[in-house]
Structure 1
Amino acid sequence: MDETTARLVDYALAARAGTPPADAREACKRSLIDSFACALGAFDTPLAGLARGTARRYAGAQPAASVWGCGWTTSADMAAFANGTMLRLLDLSDAYRVRSGGHPSDVIAAVIAAADAGGASGAAAIAAAVAAYEVYCGCCDSVDLNTMGWDQPVYGVVGSAIGAGMLFGLDREQLGHAVGLALAPSLALLQTRRGTLSNWKNCAGANAARNAVFAALLARDGFTGPDAVFEGKSGLFDITGRFDWDLPAARGQAHRITRVNLKNFPLCAHGQAGAWAALELYPAVRGREIVSIQADVYAQTLHEMASEPSKWAPATSETADHSLPYVLAVGLADGRIDAASFLPSRLADPALAALMRKTEVTVDPALSGRFPQSSPCRLTVRTADGAIHVAEIASAKGHADHPLDAAAVAAKFRSLAQPRCGGPAAAAFLDAMQSLEEAPDIRAVLALLADTETRSAEPRA
């Protein structure tokens, strides 16, 4: 294996043999709870039903893993796909961005599927998740693959393969093959997140989790993969240029899972501060005629949420939750931003279209200079009576420098999960997750949500 693969593999083997520090373990449990909240909150959406239906075609396959909230199992790789799709569907899952960026909790779908399939302990699942996050976020810190046209599954599949491989008990050689088997076929195009966004925007990370679990199982069965997938001729570095996939945690430094951003609103991470600003101004502008909306943002917000025509007239929920003009309009009009804000009826509202036409989004170099340490937005709304209303958010609540604590994450879980699984099951699951490192078999924890599918709930778009 090449040197980069060897560094990733050796880090994973050391992580499997050790125990993450307390701050990383607690951060991991918050991310796990947050991820299950996002998945159960999306359970009744049409795309979640499609993903479960696809996974159910493989019901009873071995090695088996559960689809979260269901009383049946499917193949481990298809469980990763279905769970990963639900996890990402509301765009409420965590985020991490330095040079590149994405949603590192995508790796949780692979890690939990592998832990479930192998009957791993809670402690083993935590160690694998922390390592998978470190690998994922390490790439985000090391190189800007996004501006080269590559999407986050490129590094998501590597982090997921590391986590799944740890739990499937792969040795050094097998783990190296798993990395090659995962990465070589999984170079994903950023076109997934441009123009009118499709269902695949919510499935791309889940597919990386599926591919990673499949790759780890192939390696366990004796399949070999490209042995120089990074540094060899026509390897990744021939496409991207050489970069150092650095892993400071391997040298005893802080784990990156402690610095991920959690979300309060079901929309792009770059729009979280704008959403808070809109809700802050809502009481002042409610019932008044809005003349203009000015959003001063950092450059990445404009690029991701306001630089294409589709973001100024979103036709799908996937596009709307990545449209800053839409997010500001619905927040100022409704005084809330949640899953219902992205229903077809809201997208078609002419009043929101009118507000978007009154909106201007401008990059403020001073705000750009504060990113990614913070995620600022300044919102100025002028009303017909001549009043000017301003709200500036330095960082959205949930950003790493304004984090959600364990109580806030638990409240998010209850809000999203209780309508689907009921109060007693939600409370039991939260209790079990708080002491997850003591669980001898993670399947007992997952079983607490097993009857979720039988409960009635209103369909959500």
Structure 2
Amino acid sequence: MSKEITMVEQLADWAHNADWAQLSDKAKDALKGRVLDSIGVAIGALNGEPVKNIRRMTEDLGGQELVTLIGGGKTSPDNAAFYNGAAIRYLDFNDSYLAKEETGHPSDNIAPVLAAAEYAGADGKDFLLSLAIAYQVQCRLSDVAPVRKHGFDHTVQGAYGAAAGAARAMGANSHEIANAVAIAGTGYHSLRVTRTGELSNWKGLAYPNTAMGAVHASLLAKYGISGPREVFEGNKGLMDAIAGEFSIEWKNEDLERVTDTIIKRFNAEIHSQSSIEGLLEIRDRENIKPENIKQIRLTTFDVAYNIIGGGEEGGKKWIRYKEEADHSLPYMLAAAYLDGQVMPEQYQPNRINRDDIQELLQKVDVKPDASYSSRFPDEMACRIELETNDGQIFDVEKRDYQGFKTQPASWDVLMEKYYGLTRGIDSQLAREIASTIRNLENVKIRELTELLGQIKLGEDESYE
């Protein structure tokens, strides 16, 4: 008597049967754009203190030299996924996906899928297809099974996506993919305290840790280790323990969800992007001196207010270091107004602790609005008012920003961001990396990782 096929087995069959021809040209371009963007962000983060510490740990502890580290050297696939993932994530400048009740960063899947693809000797098509699978799984679970409201982190959905993509990149069969996803999904249900209250380095390392686990789970599955078949629907499975009932007909899924992800224009938490752009429009239009500002008032959607505006995830006006600064609307708006930008430089300790920014952020007031909330995630609507000491009020209303799905970032826009982040490495090497990514479906993945291993970054290029 045959067993009824479970949801993880349905997912695995879909992932195993996925074909390059299913990807639209738009999805292929989006995947390569996300890889370019994330590699640029990783290069810009290599001198960040936590990234350097993880590099030191990796070198001290070793690992079979099978997979390339961005910046040179090799280690085991799971260790490489953690280190490269930490570099991609540290600046908090990679892409985002907005579901109604969940926000994640699906490009966090690049590190585990890249490690798995290099380990398996895969080509660029294998890598991009596997990455599309990882994006689809994480994003669709974010749509139907949000966990933030239950006290869990968005890395929960990521565990399933990263494992599905990594296992497929390793050439796993359907049975092995199911086991990899079941092991990773069961093992990595991270708490939301990662991003609430007093923030720590773990904010940028929670997904790399999940990615490392997903690669490890994929290796276990390749070596014959099984995982719980009923990880989704079973007794004390994801539905029963955390998310509640949901359904996805995996056999009917496409590979296009990557086209709904959005790029960050500013080095700031994703829900801040339209408000920063709006405040910069007022700044450029009115040329008001900071000392003449009485108050900056932001009315925004509830997700932005709750996560970075001082709502349910804690106050945002006591700012001491990067992890707090890049999740504080008051800080990011103050930085934008004073410096005319929000980039990695705005998170250096000597910038965070300066009196001008500490004083101005106290003048920022954030509140939610139900009408704006109802328009999220299709829009990132907000209204910014700047009141001067003499009572004048200047305002702007926004519905999106450059990089949002209604204004998608072109390859040229992504290249401008990429070159800004890679200015610390050899310019010819930076161009070769970008050219290889643009042509990724026509090369072996090791052609890209060999270039990433040649990166040398000067100590003076630290964004820490």
Aligned-partner Cα distance in 1 for 2:58–2:376: 39
Higher mean C-alpha displacement, 288-297 vs 301-310:
301-310
Residue in structure 1 matched with residue 320 of structure 2 by the alignment: 315
Instruction: Check whether the contact 1:296–1:364 (CA below 8 A) recurs between aligned residues.
Output: yes
- The one-letter code of the counterpart of 1:349 is R
Aligned-partner Cα distance in 1 for 2:452–2:227: 37
Are 2:55 and 1:48 aligned? no
Residue in structure 1 matched with residue 223 of structure 2 by the alignment: 221
Residue in structure 2 matched with residue 33 of structure 1 by the alignment: 36
- Unpaired stretches in structure 1, ≥5 consecutive residues: none
Aligned-partner Cα distance in 2 for 1:144–1:136: 11
Aligned-partner Cα distance in 2 for 1:2–1:185: 22
Q: Secondary structure of 1:243's partner?
A: coil
How many residue pairs were aligned? 456
Q: Secondary structure of 1:303's partner?
A: helix
How do residues 87-98 of structure 1 correspond to structure 2 at under 5 angstroms?
87-98=88-99
- The one-letter code of the counterpart of 1:27 is A
Q: 1:185 to 1:167 in 2, by over 3 A?
A: same
Residue in structure 2 matched with residue 399 of structure 1 by the alignment: 404
- The one-letter code of the counterpart of 1:317 is K
Higher mean C-alpha displacement, 387-396 vs 72-81:
387-396
What is the deviation of 1:460? 2.4
Higher mean C-alpha displacement, 364-373 vs 119-128:
364-373
What is the deviation of 1:190? 0.5
What is the deviation of 1:52? 1.6
Aligned-partner Cα distance in 2 for 1:445–1:247: 35
How do residues 55-454 of structure 1 correspond to structure 2 at under 5 angstroms?
55-61=58-64, 64-70=66-72, 72-98=73-99, 99-246=101-248, 250-251=251-252, 253=254, 255-283=256-284, 284=286, 285-286=288-289, 288-306=291-309, 307=311, 310-417=315-422, 419-439=423-443, 441-453=444-456
What is the deviation of 1:176? 1.2
Aligned-partner Cα distance in 2 for 1:459–1:358: 30
Aligned-partner Cα distance in 1 for 2:318–2:35: 34
Instruction: Check whether the contact 2:334–2:360 (CA below 8 A) recurs between aligned residues.
Output: yes
Aligned-partner Cα distance in 2 for 1:86–1:254: 26
Instruction: Check whether the contact 2:69–2:452 (CA below 8 A) recurs between aligned residues.
Output: no
- The one-letter code of the counterpart of 1:271 is S
TM-score by length of 2: 0.94
- What is the CA RMSD across the aligned residues, in angstroms? 1.8
What is the deviation of 1:350? 2.5
Higher mean C-alpha displacement, 75-84 vs 375-384:
375-384
What is the deviation of 1:29? 0.4
- The one-letter code of the counterpart of 1:432 is T
Aligned-partner Cα distance in 2 for 1:409–1:95: 15
Aligned-partner Cα distance in 2 for 1:368–1:331: 24
Q: Secondary structure of 1:457's partner?
A: helix
Q: Deviation string for 1:389-435 (max 9, x for gaps)?
A: 11222112111111101111122111111x23221111111111111
Aligned-partner Cα distance in 1 for 2:167–2:161: 10
Instruction: Check whether the contact 2:266–2:341 (CA below 8 A) recurs between aligned residues.
Output: no
Aligned-partner Cα distance in 2 for 1:287–1:168: 54
- The one-letter code of the counterpart of 1:301 is A
Q: 1:328 to 1:149 in 2, by over 3 A?
A: same
Q: Deviation string for 1:121-176 (max 9, x for gaps)?
A: 00000000001100000011112211111111211111010011111121121111
What is the deviation of 1:7? 2.0
What is the deviation of 1:60? 5.0
Higher mean C-alpha displacement, 130-139 vs 44-53:
44-53
Q: Percent identity?
A: 31
- The one-letter code of the counterpart of 2:117 is A
Q: Secondary structure of 2:37's partner?
A: helix
Aligned-partner Cα distance in 2 for 1:404–1:191: 32
Q: Deviation string for 1:229-271 (max 9, x for gaps)?
A: 11221211111254335367x5365611001011011111111
Instruction: Check whether the contact 1:25–1:126 (CA below 8 A) recurs between aligned residues.
Output: yes
Residue in structure 2 matched with residue 7 of structure 1 by the alignment: 10
Instruction: Check whether the contact 1:95–1:102 (CA below 8 A) recurs between aligned residues.
Output: yes
Aligned-partner Cα distance in 2 for 1:288–1:241: 48
Q: Secondary structure of 2:375's partner?
A: coil
Q: 1:18 to 1:215 in 2, by over 3 A?
A: farther
